Amino acid sequence: MGRIEKLQELLQQMPDDSFLRHALALEYIKLNNDKDAKALFEAVLKNEPGYVGSYYHLGKLLERNGETALAIEWYEKGMQQAKAANDQHAYNELQAAYEDLVY
SS3 sequence of 52-98:
CHHHHHHHHHHHHCCCHHHHHHHHHHHHHHHHHCCCHHHHHHHHHHH
Count the helices and strands in the chain (H runs, E runs): 6, 0
* Mean pLDDT of all residues belonging to the chain: 97
pLDDT digits (tens, 9 = 90+) for 77-97: 999 999 999 999 999 999 999
CA gap 43, 16 in Å, rounded? 9
Residue 40: pLDDT over 90:
yes
**Taking the domains of the chain in order of start, what are their residue ranges?**
3-102
In angstroms, the CA 9 to CA 33 distance is 19
Give yes or no for residue 42 having a pLDDT over 90: yes
Q: What percent of the chain has pLDDT over 90?
A: 98
| CB atoms closer than 10 angstroms to residue 22 | 22
pLDDT value at 1 more than 90: no
| Residues 3-102, CATH architecture | Alpha Horseshoe (1.25)
